[in-house]
């Protein structure tokens, strides 16, 4: 599992931006930037939709005021799903990224096999990344939502 002071691996992620499919590398997303990344087990799932994403939407301006260049929400879903979920929650200030094949999630050791529910998914976590290097990691235990929320991240920045 990725830890503090680790460099993020090179990976390709996807997003719908201005109605177009975009492929983005981790270098493009994190190099020379301060980024808050949070990951959820699945778009449109209860805790993710009722608390995790809405918390970051509500605190996005305060988080960015701490010198953060971008806030990224990541899930092992496709870019169309992430785009629709972001629109439903007015997540205009958050980049909704898809890790469709879970390659990035697996590369950083944040995957969990959910079996027939959805296969490889992400555990719930948040992290602060400075120039591609992880500075803070808040990983949840399965079935919890206590340390990866927006307020905890805001307080740590």
> DSSP letters of 65-111?
TTT--EEEEEESS-HHHHHHHHHHTT-TTSEEEE-TT-HHHHHTT-E
Task: With beta carbons less than 8 A apart as the criterion, state whether 96 and 30 touch.
Answer: no
Q: What are phi and psi of 33, to 5 degrees?
A: -135, 155
Residue 50: CB atoms within 10 Å: 11
Question: How buried is residue 68: exposed, middle or buried, by Cβ count under 10 Å (0-12/13-18/19+)?
Answer: buried
* Residue 73 falls in the annotated catalytic set: no
Out of 13, 39, 48, 76, which one is annotated catalytic? Answer: 48
Q: Which positions are annotated as active-site residues? A: 48
């Amino acid at each position: 599992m990725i830890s503090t002071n680790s460099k993020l691996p090179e990976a390709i992620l996807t997003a719908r931006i201005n109605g177009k499919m975009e492929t983005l590398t981790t270098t493009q997303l994190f190099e020379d930037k301060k980024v808050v990344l949070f990951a959820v087990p699945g778009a449109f799932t209860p805790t993710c939709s009722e608390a995790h994403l809405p918390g970051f939407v509500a605190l996005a301006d305060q988080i960015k005021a701490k010198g953060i260049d971008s806030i990224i929400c990541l899930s092992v879903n496709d870019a169309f799903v992430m785009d629709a979920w972001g629109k439903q929650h007015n997540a205009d200030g958050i980049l909704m990224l898809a890790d469709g094949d879970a390659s990035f999630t697996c590369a950083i050791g944040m995957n969990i096999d959910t079996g027939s529910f959805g296969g490889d998914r992400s555990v719930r976590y948040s992290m602060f990344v400075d120039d591609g290097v992880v500075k803070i990691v808040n990983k949840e235990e399965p079935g919890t939502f206590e340390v990866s929320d927006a307020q905890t991240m805001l307080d740590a920045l």
